[in-house]
Amino acid sequence: MKDSSFERRKKRVRFKVYGKTARPRLSVSRSNKNIYVQIIDDDKRKTLIGLSLKGIKDQVKGKTKLVAAGILGEEIALRAKKIKIKKIVFDRGGYRYLGRVKAVAEGARKGGLDF
Model confidence at 3: pLDDT above 70: no
Q: 20-37: b or e for each residue (b if 16 or more CB lie within 10 Å)?
A: eeeebbbbbbbeeeebbb
State pTM to two decimals: 0.86
Question: Per-residue pLDDT averaged across 80-86, rounded?
Answer: 94
Label residue 106 left, alpha or beta by phi (over 0 means left) and psi (-120 to 50 means alpha): alpha
Please write the tens of the pLDDT for every residue from 32-51: 999 999 999 989 999 999 99
Model confidence at 16: pLDDT above 70: yes
Instruction: Classify domain 5-110 by CATH number.
Output: 3.30.420.100
Question: Per-residue pLDDT averaged across 76-101, rounded?
Answer: 93
> Residue 51: beta bridge partners?
37
The mean of the pLDDT values for the chain is 90
Q: pLDDT-derived band of residue 1, with 50, 70 and 90 as boundaries?
A: very low
Model confidence at 75: pLDDT above 90: yes
Domain ranges across the chain: 5-110
